[in-house]
Structures are given as C-alpha cells and as structure tokens.
Amino acid sequence: MNMENVFRYYEFSDFFQDESNTFNGNTIAFTELNEQHFLIFEKEEEKYHLYVSKFSSKESIGKEPPKILELLVKHYDKSLPEHRIILRKYLY
C-alpha cells in the first residue's frame, strides 16, 4: 500500500523516531490541525495507525507524551472509504 500520496496530500511531516515512549519506539509523522491539535500517523512495520492528539506545541511531538491521544484508525487503509472519511473529517 503506497501511503506516500496520502502523506503528501495532507501535508504530513516526514517520519521521525518517537522519543517519548508513547508510540512504542515506532516512527511517526504529523500534520497540524491548530497550534495544539495534530493528526499523527504511527508506522508500525508496514502498518499505519492514525491518531488525533493534543500537545503543548508541535516541537513537543515525539519528545513529550501528548496531553490527549485518541486512536482513530488502527491499520489505516487508504482504499477503505470509511478510513478516508475519518481522515478528511479532521482536515476539512
């Protein structure tokens, strides 16, 4: 599954190592909803999980635990309309 188009289209950051121990040592990428709320994709091997989160600032992402973290989609699959709808719901 090529997720690169999803990440580019929704302007997610490049993936980087989570150092906060929130995402089990996996890599994460984020996009900003506002100055404290973010969507995060966690990459676990070749699977992606989508979260909505709250941090004090975007500089805290991957360094500090989030204030709020909610799993929206486990094993995100861009071919499933319900997964795409959840992502768009937060970005539009």
Q: Which helix (H) or strand (E) holds 90?
A: helix 81-91
What are the structural domain ranges in the chain? 4-91
Q: Which two tokens stand for residue 23?
A: 């995402």
Across 1-92, the runs of DSSP E, i.e. the strands, are 16-17, 27-32, 37-44, 47-54, 68-73
pTM: 0.94
Per-residue pLDDT tens, the chain, 92 aa: give them.
589 999 999 999 999 999 999 999 999 999 999 999 999 999 999 999 999 999 999 999 999 999 999 999 999 999 999 999 999 999 87
